[in-house]
Amino acid sequence: MTQKARRSLVPALRFPEFRDAGEWEEGKIYSLFKVDKKPEKASKFDSEKIITVKLHANGVVKNERAGTLTGGANYYKRRANEFIFSKIDLLNGAFGLVPDDLDGFCSSSDVPAFAFKEDSIPLFFLDWLKVNYQNLPIERTGTSSTLKRVAPSKFLELPIQLPSKVEQQKIADCLSSIDDLITLEARKIEALKAHKKGLMQQLFPAEGEKIPKLRFPEFRDAGEWEKKTIGSVCRIFSGGTPVTSRRSFYGGDIPFIRSAEIDKTRTELFLTQEGLDNSAAKLVVKGDLLLALYGANSGDVAMAKVDGAINQAILCLRSECSNAFIYHSLSHMQSEIVFSYVQGGQGNLSGDIVKSIELYFPSQNEQQKIADCLSSIDDLISLQARKLEALNAHKKGLMQQLFPVSNEVRR
C-alpha cells in the first residue's frame, strides 16, 4: 500500500557545519515576501517603459519589443531584485529575479512581481524554485486550456522548506559561484565565435571581390578565386520520412537525423532497415555537409556527426574536393542566404535554390588550409561547449543534493 508522499526535511548533502543542525523547517512562500506591499501602478507617462519580458529558469530577459498602455490591461512598475513570474508559464520554468537594468519597467498583471523582505535571501529562493517548480502542488485554472493561469495567491500559499538563514546563504553562495563559472565559460564560447566570425570575414572574399583581405603567406600571389555554383561541385540529395504509423519502421539502429539535429552526435529517433528500404530516407555519412531546408532552423548548416538517414527537410551536399571548405563558406554566407531566400519571400530553401548558390573557390591546397584553420576554432568551441555542459550538469546534480526531495513511503 502506498501512503501519500511526504517531504524529507533533510537534504542528502549538507555543508559540514550544518550536518547536526536538524531538519529544515516548513513554512509558506508568502513568508519571504512583503505581501502587503502594493505595486505602483503605471501611468500614461510610463508608456515608453512598457516592455515584453521573456522569463525562464535562469532569470529575466528583455524582449526588444516595446508596447503602449492600453485600456484593457493593468500595468505596474517592477523593481530590481523582485521575484517575477508568468501566471501562464510558471510551471514551465518562466520565473526569475528582475535584473538591475530592468528596474522601473512596467508589465501587466499576468506577470506579477513580489518584493522580498529585508531578511530574505532571494537567490536561495530562486534556487529552491528551480529544483521544485515542475512538482509544485498547484494547478493552472481558467476557462481556456491554452490560457490557464497560476493564481498568485495560490502560489504564495505553497509550502517551502527552509534551513537557517546562515545555511540558506551558504547554499546561495555556493550555487552563485558555479553560476559565475558558467557565465565565464559561456563568454569564452561567445568570444571564440566572434573570433571565428571576424576571421571568416577576412579569409573569404567580400561581396564583389575575388580575393580575400587575408591570405596565408604561401598563397598571397596565387591570384583570384574562381566562382562556381554549389550544384557544379556537389552531389546533392534530400531524404524522406518512413510512415510513422508503421512500428516496424522505427526502433532500429540507424540514426534518423531531422533538421534540428544536423549538428548532433545522437538522434532522438532510429530507423530499422525495413523503414529505410520502404521510404525516401537517404543515408549520409559522418563528414557529409547537411543543410536545413525549412522549419525554425532553415538555413542552418553543419557537418554530419554520425552516419545515419536524413528526412525531406535536410539537403545533403557531398563534394569530392572539400566538404569542410564548402561548410565554412556556407556558414559565412548563412545570414545572406536566409535573408535572400527564407525571409525574402521564398519561405523555404529548396534543392534548386541551393544548387544555384555561387561560392568562390581558391586552389585545393588553399581550400584545405582555410578549412583546417577554421575547423581548429570549431574544435575549441566544441571543447568549451562540453565544459559548459559539464558545469551545468554539475550544478543540476548539486542542487538536487542540497535541497530536500520528496520520498514516497511504502508499506
**327 neighbors 290 (Cβ within 8 angstroms):** no
The grid cell for 231 is 550544384
Provide the 8-state DSSP code for 12: S
- At residue 340, the pLDDT reads 82
Query: C-alpha angle with apex 18: 15 to 20, nearest 5 degrees?
Result: 130
- At residue 343, the pLDDT reads 62
- At residue 310, the pLDDT reads 97
- At residue 94, the pLDDT reads 87
Task: Give the amino acid at 343.
Answer: Q
CA dihedral over 246, 249, 252, 256, signed as positive or negative = negative
Measured CA to CA, the distance from residue 398 to residue 62 in angstroms comes to 29
The grid cell for 189 is 564560447
- At residue 176, the pLDDT reads 95
Provide the 8-state DSSP code for 116: B
- At residue 111, the pLDDT reads 87
Cα-based torsion angle of the residue sequence 373, 378, 381, 383 in order, rounded to the nearest 10 degrees = -100
Per-residue pLDDT tens listing for the chain (411 residues): 344 444 568 999 999 999 999 999 999 999 999 988 888 887 755 555 665 666 665 566 555 445 555 545 678 888 999 999 989 888 888 898 988 888 888 888 888 999 999 999 999 999 999 999 988 999 888 766 667 889 999 999 999 999 999 999 999 999 999 999 999 999 999 999 999 999 999 999 998 899 999 999 999 999 999 999 999 999 999 999 999 999 999 999 999 999 999 999 999 999 999 999 999 999 999 999 999 998 778 889 999 999 999 999 999 999 977 899 999 999 999 988 888 877 655 567 889 999 999 999 999 999 999 999 999 999 999 999 999 999 999 999 999 999 987 543 332
- At residue 410, the pLDDT reads 30
Phi and psi dihedrals of 355, rounded to 5?
-60, -30
- At residue 383, the pLDDT reads 96
Residue for grid cell 529552491: 128
- DSSP letters of 223-287? ---EEEEHHHHEEEEE-----TT-GGGEEEEEEEE-GGGTT-SS-SEEE-HHHHHTSS-EEE-TT
- At residue 81, the pLDDT reads 93
Residue 154's Cβ-count burial label (10 Å; 0-12, 13-18, 19+) is: middle
Measured CA to CA, the distance from residue 338 to residue 348 in angstroms comes to 9
Pairing between β-strand 250-257 and β-strand 308-310 as defined by DSSP bridges: parallel
Task: Provide the whole-model pTM.
Answer: 0.81
**125 neighbors 32 (Cβ within 8 angstroms):** yes
Crossing angle (nearest 10°) for helices 323-337 and 165-203: 100
